[in-house]
């Protein structure tokens, strides 16, 4: 039952094994470094020190929510299908949390379309969807930064000639230090495992 223990194990064990995350039903396992791996190699996503701006036009770092568990993904405001579903899915996950867990959780959504997703557009979206802006930040960044964040999150995307995007939907959970704890690839996939780890990460 070793493999099952791994999936239900604690965050510390995951840290020692290199911060792998579950991706829905598939798990990309990297050759496990021994627990005594050099601590000099950062496990955190925040090693990618990117600068973005939020829906209020403020300049922020990717790690603005360090110290909180974070759900992070990518979207664009004029997306017709998947992105509304993505937001709805995160809201459903939030609804499954206790008030205290929810208060701890932060949500970061980075736009694939910085050209059209201006701060005004992002604000309008936040209001239209009734997002709790004290915890949800919608961000835009340079094309290069967007490419790096997508690469780090394992999100595939391509801008089409008409300005819309093909993109995959990956929802990633970061712990308080920015280490990846779970990934759900695809909107139809079950997220029970992500929820379990979110609770663990949100615990005081």
Per CB under 8 A, 88 contacts other proteins? no
Q: Does 92 participate in binding other proteins (rule CB under 8 A)? A: no
List residues bridging with 181 in a β-sheet.
none
- Say whether residue 116 binds other proteins (CB under 8 A): no
User: In a 3-state reduction of DSSP, which class is residue 109?
Assistant: strand
Q: Which of residues 23-42 bind other proteins (CB under 8 A)?
A: 24-31, 33, 38, 40-42
The residue within the footprint of other proteins, chosen from 169, 171, 175, 181 (CB under 8 A), is 169
Note whether 81 binds other proteins by CB under 8 A: yes
Residue with tokens 């360090």: 66
d(CA 197, CA 204) in angstroms, rounded, equals 13
Give the x/- contact pattern for other proteins in 127-166, rule: CB under 8 A: --------------------xx-xxx-xxxxx-xxx-xxx
Report the alpha-carbon distance of residue 182 to residue 19 in Å, rounded. Answer: 9
Among 11, 16, 60, 187, binds other proteins (CB under 8 A): 187
Smallest distance from other proteins to CB 45, Å:
5
86-94 long-range Cβ contacts below 8 angstroms, 24+ apart: 86/169, 86/171, 86/187, 87/129, 87/131, 89/171, 89/187, 89/191, 90/171, 93/191, 93/194, 93/195, 93/198
Do 198 and 97 contact (CB within 8 A), yes or no?
A: yes
**In the beta sheet, which residues pair with residue 140?**
53
Q: Does 189 bind other proteins (CB under 8 A)?
A: yes
Stretch of residues binding other proteins (CB under 8 A), selected from 18-26, 63-71, 103-111, 132-140: 18-26
The binding site for other proteins (CB under 8 A) comprises 1-4, 7-8, 18-19, 24-31, 33, 38, 40-45, 47-48, 79, 81-83, 147-148, 150-152, 154-158, 160-162, 164-169, 185-190, 192
């Amino acid at each position: 039952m070793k493999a099952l223990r791994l999936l239900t194990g604690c965050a510390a064990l995951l840290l020692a094994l290199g911060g792998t995350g579950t991706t829905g039903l598939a798990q990309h396992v990297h050759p496990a470094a021994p627990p005594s791996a050099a601590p000099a190699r950062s496990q955190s996503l925040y090693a990618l020190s990117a600068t973005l701006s939020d829906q209020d036009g403020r300049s922020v770092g990717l790690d603005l929510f360090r110290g909180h568990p974070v759900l992070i993904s990518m979207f664009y405001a004029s997306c017709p299908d998947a992105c509304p579903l993505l937001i709805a899915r995160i809201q459903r996950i939030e609804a499954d949390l206790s008030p205290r867990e929810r208060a701890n959780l932060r949500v970061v959504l980075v736009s694939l379309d910085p050209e059209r997703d201006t701060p005004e557009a992002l604000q309008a979206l936040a209001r239209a969807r009734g997002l709790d802006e004290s915890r949800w930040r919608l961000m835009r960044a340079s094309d290069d930064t967007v490419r790096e964040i997508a690469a780090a999150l394992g999100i595939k995307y391509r801008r089409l000639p008409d300005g819309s995007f093909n993109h995959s939907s990956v929802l990633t959970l970061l712990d308080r230090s920015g280490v990846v704890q779970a990934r759900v690839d695809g909107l139809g996939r079950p997220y029970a495992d992500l929820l379990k780890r979110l609770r663990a990460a949100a615990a005081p």
